Copies of this chain bind each other. A is one copy, B any other.
Amino acid sequence: MDEVIKRTCRFIIADDHMVVRQGMSLLVKETFPNAIIFQADNFTKIKGILIEEKIDVLILDVSFPEGNSISLLQEVKQIQPDCKIMIFSALEEEVHALHFYNAGVHAYLNKLSEEEIIQKALVTLVTQGRFVSELSKELILNSITTGKSINPIQSLSERELEVARLMVKGFGNLEISNALQLQKTTISTYKKRIFEKLQVDHLAGLIELFSHYLD
């Protein structure tokens, strides 16, 4: 353990909220007194740092003004494949963690976590290359045993997804059929299949689902 904390680990703390960056900085420094810490409040800066500096751990918030950080993950892995990614998010672990593990992150931590948990996660991440909470472990097991897709939206076909997105945006049947150059009855058919697959039965439910599993 002593060896660990003496390492000169290199971190990026990426969050659009200044106070969060400061708070996390403090914590990282407490945990790894020799750590080198970079801060970033947007995607461009994150990528910039990743290109110029060797980074061990990227601590990454989910929501940025530019959008959801899941879209960034691929790029991060391309620039620095060995960089460990820890999602540090206010989103409920139950709903979102699997999503991120599926996208290849090495740890998912809720912002509600207390100091000790965060520090433990950091240490585990550095020593073992990943940290999976008990809750997440269960979620993962569960998803495998029940065979259920993590994200039910993924069960939609291309066309269905297109239609669903437009529905969520508030497009009516006609507008959709226009946008996609299809008969309106065709749209109805898609709607029906969408509702069946997602097991909801009205737009309100669809919108709720989408707001949980925003891609």
The chain A residues found within 8 Å of chain B, CB to CB, are: 16-27, 65, 88, 90, 111-115, 118, 167-172, 201-205, 207
Q: Within the complex, which residue of B18, B65, B118, B204 is in contact with A18, where a contact is CB–CB below 8 Å?
A: B118
How far is A88 from B19 in the complex, measured between Cα atoms in Å?
11
Smallest CB-CB separation from A171: which chain B residue? B202
Residues from chain B with Cβ under 8 Å of A23 in the complex:
17-26
Residues from chain B with Cβ under 8 Å of A203 in the complex:
170, 203-204
Smallest CB-CB separation from A13: which chain B residue? B19
Q: Within the complex, which residue of B19, B114, B168, B171 is in contact with A20, where a contact is CB–CB below 8 Å?
A: B19
Q: Within the complex, which residue of B16, B20, B204 is in contact with A17, where a contact is CB–CB below 8 Å?
A: B20
Q: Are A17 and B111 in contact (CB under 8 A)?
A: yes
